[in-house]
Structure 1
Amino acid sequence: MKRKNFFHRNWVRFTCLFVSLFFMTAFAYSQVRVAIITGGHGYDKEPFEAMWTSITEMKPTYFDYGAKKCDFFEKDHSDEFDTIVFYNFHQKITPKQQQNFLKMLEKGKRIIVMHHAISAFPEWNEFNKIIGAKYFLEDMEWEGKKYERSKYKHDVKIPVHVADKNHPITQGVEDFEEIDETYSGYYIAPEVHVLLTTNCPENTPFIAWVNKYNNSEIFFVQLGHGPQIFANEQFRKLISNAIKWASGKNN
C-alpha cells in the first residue's frame, strides 16, 4: 500500500512538473522577440525599460551602440527577432549594414521607429524613404527644396487623437493627453497612413503613422521622449499593439 502511494505521489509530481514545463515553454515560444536599438541620445532608461517589461507578450533584447555606428546590421538578424524597435539617434551605418537593413525589409519584416529615431541615420537618405519622414537638424536643401531647421520643445502637454480606430495598432486606444516633447517643421511623406494626430500648435499635426516600403510596413510614432509618456496607459496600449502588429500576431 505504501509503495503504491509512493508511486502515485511521484506520478502526480511528475505530471505537474511536465505540465508546468510545457506551459512555460509554450509561453516562451509565444512571446514576441524584440530587438531594441538605442544610443546617440540620452533618455530615461528605467521608465523606458519598465514600459517594455510591462508588455508580457514580448521578450526585449537591448542593443546600445552609443554615438558610434549601428553594428546591429553587421549581419542579418531576420530570423532571430520578430521585429526591431529603433530608438537610436544620429548614428553611422555603413554600405554593408545598409544592405542588410534593406534585405530585412525585402523579406517583409515590419519595424517600429520611435521619437528621436526619426534621425537615426541622418546621412542615409534611404532611411527617410523607409520611415516616410525627415527631421532637419539644420537649414538645408533636400530633394530639391530648401528647409529650415526643424524645431522641438520639451515638457509640453500634447493632446493625442486617434485618427484611425480600425487599424490593429490603435485597437482599444482612446484619445489622451500627456506631457512630452513636440516636433515641428519636419517633412512627412504625403502617402503615409496616419494613425494619430494632434492639435497642439507647437507640433506637426500628424503624430503617428504607418509607411509602406517595398515589402515591409513601418510604424513611426513621434511620442516617446519620456519619462511621463512611458507610464501612460494609452501609450503603452499603443506600443503593445504595435509589437503584436509588427510580429503579425494580431493581424
Structure 2
Amino acid sequence: MAMIDYQNDNAVLVMTKGHPFNREDFLSVFDGIEGINACSVEQPASQAFFNPELAKDYRAFVLYDMPGMDFFKADADDGLAPRYIEPPTSFKENFLALLEQGHGFVFLHHTIAAWPAWPEYAEIIGGKFLYKPGQIRGVDYPDSGYRHEITHQVSVLQDHPVTAGVSQTFSINDELYLSHVFDDSVIPLLSSDYDYCDSNFYSSQQAVTGTMFSREGWHHAPGHNLIGWVKHYKNSPIVYLQCGDSKAAYDSTEYQTLLSNAINWVASDEAKQWARDRNNHE
C-alpha cells in the first residue's frame, strides 16, 4: 500500500482505529491481494467516505475499526466504561444511503463491537460483541468473552465465492469471541471447533477495568461457533470474518484467500444483484 497504483481502478478503502493492532502487519496483507488497489484511512476521518459521492470511487469498504466507545471514561447511565458514543447523524444517514444504493462491505474481527449505541449497526453486520452488560434485541446479556492465541480448526460450511479455494478444514491461531450471532439473518460460511463456553473465555468488562485474563464471577451462556458469514442489508452484500487478530492469523494463506474472496465478491455486480433480489423478496 506504499505505492500509488494509477493503473488499477479496483479501489478498495480499508478503515481502521479504535482497537489495538499492528498496523504494518495488517496492512501488508493487502499488498499480497492481486488485483486490488487498497488504501487506508482511520476513524473518525473514515466516516467522511460514507458520503455516497465519495464512496463511489471505491468498489468496496473493508472495516477493521471499532468506533463508538470511550474506554477512558465511565458512562453516566450505568457507571461502567466504556462510555458509549452515538454516531453522528450525518454518518448514519450516509451509511444507510450506501446500503440502499448497494455498496460492498467486508467487516473484520473486532468490528462486531463497534457503535454499540446504535442498535441498527449490529443488524447490519449480523451480530454483536458487548464490552459491558447490555441489551441486544431487547434482552439483557452479560459482557462478551475473548480468548487470545487459540489454535483451532475452522470448517467451511458451504460452497460460496467467499470460500472458493479454501480448504474444507484448516487450522489457524487467532483470538476468538464469545459473543452474539444473529443466525436468523446470516448465511453461515465458517465455524470453529472450539468449545464456546464461558470457562474457555475471559470477561471483556474485567479487561476494560484493568484485570486482563479474568473470569471471576462472570458467567455467560454457551455461544455460537459461527465465525464467518454473508448476508445482505437493504441492497448491499456483506461479509463478516471473525478471523484476523494478529500476525499469526494475517500470515495464514487461508485467511488471505478468504479476505481476497470476500472483497472481490462484495464488489461484484453478481453480489449486488443477489442482495437486491433478497431485499426485494423480504
Q: Deviations over 1:16-59 (max 9, x none)?
A: xxxxxxxx97x523xx2111110111101122111110002111
Aligned to 1:10: none
The residue correspondences of 1:139-178 to structure 2 (distance < 5 A) are: 139-165=133-159, 167-174=160-167, 175-178=169-172
For the aligned residue pairs, the C-alpha RMSD in angstroms reads 2.0
Q: Please state how far the C-alpha of 1:69 moved relative to its aligned partner.
A: 7.3
For the pair 1:81 / 2:81, whether they are aligned, the reply is no
1:28 match: secondary structure: coil
Q: Percent same amino acid among aligned pairs?
A: 27
* d(CA) in 1 for partners of 2:256, 2:270: 16
Aligned to 1:61: 39
Residue number among 122, 140, 146 corresponding to 1:128 in the alignment: 122
Aligned to 1:182: 176
Does the aligned pair in 1 maintain the 2:50–2:98 contact within 8 Å?
Answer: no
1:191 match: secondary structure: coil
Q: Which structure has the highest helix share of the two?
A: 1
Q: Deviations over 1:129-183 (max 9, x none)?
A: 1111111221123322111111001111121101012x11111111211110010
Q: Please state how far the C-alpha of 1:96 moved relative to its aligned partner.
A: 0.7
Q: Normalized against structure 2, the TM-score is what?
A: 0.74
> For residues 163 and 148 of structure 1, do their structure 2 counterparts lie closer, same or farther at Cα, with a shift above 3 Å needed?
same
* d(CA) in 1 for partners of 2:104, 2:148: 30
2:240 match: secondary structure: strand
The AA in structure 2 aligned to 1:75 is N
Aligned to 1:21: none
Q: Which moved more, 1:109-118 or 1:43-52?
A: 43-52
Residue number among 4, 25, 28 corresponding to 2:8 in the alignment: 28
Q: Please state how far the C-alpha of 1:125 moved relative to its aligned partner.
A: 1.0
- The runs of at least 4 aligned residues of structure 1 exceeding 4 Å deviation read none
Which entry has the higher C-alpha Rg, 1 or 2? 1
The AA in structure 2 aligned to 1:235 is Y
Unaligned runs of 5+ in 2: 69-84, 197-222, 272-282
Aligned to 1:37: 15
Residue number among 239, 245, 248 corresponding to 2:265 in the alignment: 245
Does the aligned pair in 2 maintain the 1:148–1:185 contact within 8 Å?
Answer: no
